[in-house]
Amino acid sequence: MTEDSPIDFLVALASLPYEQLPAKPLRLARQSLFDWLICGLAGKNEPVAQIIHTYAEAESGPLACASLFGGDMASPRLAALSNGTISHALDFDDTHFDHVGHLSVGIFPAVLALAEKDDLSVAQMSSAFLVGAEGAIRLGMVLGVSHYNCGFHQTATAGAFGATMAAGRIAGLDAEAQLRALSLCATFASGLKSQFGTMGKPLNAGLAAANGIEAVRLAQVGFSTARDGVFGPQGFVETHTDNPDLSALRSDVTNLSDFSFRFLSNRYKFHACCHGLHAMIEGLLDLRARHSFTADNVARLELRTAPRWLRVCDVKRPATGLEVKFSYVWLAGMVISDRATGDDRTYTDVLAADAGLSNLAARVEVLGDASVGDQQAEGTVFLRDGRSLPFRHDLAHPIPAEALRDRLRQKARAVLRDEAGPLLELADGIYDAPETVSARQLGALIRRRG
């Protein structure tokens, strides 16, 4: 692997030969594809999906050649924009905590939009996704916590570079063109956390995918750019973080034979809300399974969480169903009162106005604790009978591969209900015979109207 400069490292990563990609992360990439399809099919009837369909189809005209979730076809860039937005509409997609972002929704839409033209296989798509995801993770680590805490949404920022690497691989860019594509992406990549709780948040995922397509297309036709718009003077890294950690780019890397994919730490959602809430939810579910108590028995609940999440999912009085997905106090109340958290249809404006949940929320205290990690939650439920029940959960504990596969199938059935059948029919091929499932098959699947 070339290590002349950081951007050369990303270019080399993007072009790793398929046979040098390890089986385990490739298998996980295919599980991410399955999960992304669940999320996109589940989001196709959301209001934001209808709006983005109208925009994409009107703008595409004769260039319509890439499938839309629950729609017709659009140009590759607009299909990527639409499908990224739609698949993130429910906030039910995977998360990687090394860079605090969602990988599948920003990268797979770019991959599929270009793969349909040449009818590439799932094997080719998943390899492109894997190198793009790894690049996004490592660049996200370079940008570090200051980038996120400043207000940037790394699904859209670091994710756009991952989409560019993946799309460049699908498009067959040589090293020089891939380098130019990454440098061009540096002037596109954008996305802010201020959009959380609105349609602007899923749009951030769509922007990552669309920016990847556009950067690759411009590089293909010879567009000139700075030699290194990512790490060079006044480039993306220098202008978007106060404390870049360039060592993070190559951490765990000595040579190709023992390349360690951080993508293996990717985590999946089984609750239709911000991933920052999931450790609390899992901890409370486990507590309720071990102890008998009802909402009426709860005097108060004290939650300790990583301080960074207080700026993301600590909405005290959600006004909409979308805002509920970013509210510790509301989700704590939902779990305690035995309300479903894994069905996106639960998160309505009526739920946000629920008097019972409002009453429970008033009994929940959320504290930032620097000793609690990003994937952890700790706390205590104090009962009116005098009992104090501590709970703790750590999302970093991996789910075994077969168990994850089963849980994702369960997720498909729960979220898609009667519409899960066609996707489940393709599941074994996606997992076990990726050379036999094509991009056009996936395109036909996602265009199905429910």
Whether 106 and 231 share a structural domain: yes
Q: What is the pLDDT of residue 450?
A: 64
For 342-363, b where at least 16 C-beta lie within 10 A, e where not — what string?
bbbebbeeebbebeebeebbeb
Q: pLDDT, tens digit, for every residue of 84-103? A: 999 999 888 999 989 889 99
Q: What percent of the chain has pLDDT over 70?
A: 98
Whether residue 40 is contained in a domain is answered as: yes
Q: Is there a single domain that holds both residue 205 and residue 94?
A: yes
DSSP 8-state class, residue 188: T
CA angle 266, 21, 3 (to 5 degrees): 95
Mean pLDDT along residues 257-269: 85
Q: What CATH number does residue 308 fall under?
A: 3.30.1330.120
Residue 230: pLDDT band (50, 70, 90) is very high
Same domain flag for 262 and 283: no
The amino acid sitting at 441 is: Q
Residue 37 and residue 123 in one domain: yes
104, 126: one domain: yes
pLDDT tens digit sequence for 172-211: 999 999 999 999 999 999 999 999 889 999 999 999 999 9
Question: Same domain for 161 and 302?
Answer: no
**Rounded mean pLDDT of 257-271?**
86
CATH number assigned to the domain comprising residue 72: 1.10.4100.10
108 and 136 co-located in one domain: yes
What confidence tier does 2 reach under pLDDT thresholds 50, 70, 90? very low
- Domain residues for the domain of 349 are 275-394
Question: Are residues 367 and 423 both part of a single domain?
Answer: no
169 and 55 housed in the same domain: yes
- Please state the domain count of the chain: 2
Residue 335 and residue 226 share a domain = no
**Residue 290 covered by a domain:** yes
108 within domain boundaries: yes
Q: Are 249 and 142 in contact (CB under 8 A)?
A: yes
Same domain, 10 and 132: yes
Find where tokens 């604790």 sit: 369
Residue with tokens 């207000």, as numbered in its chain: 151
pLDDT at 253 > cutoff 80 = no
Question: Tokens 């200051």 sit at which residue?
Answer: 146
Q: Calculate ∠ Cα 181-171-43, nearest 5°.
A: 90
> What average pLDDT does range 308-315 have in this prediction?
92
Q: Higher confidence at residue 353 or residue 342?
A: 353
pLDDT of residue 145: 87
pLDDT at 1: 42
Q: What is the pLDDT of the chain when averaged over all its residues?
A: 94
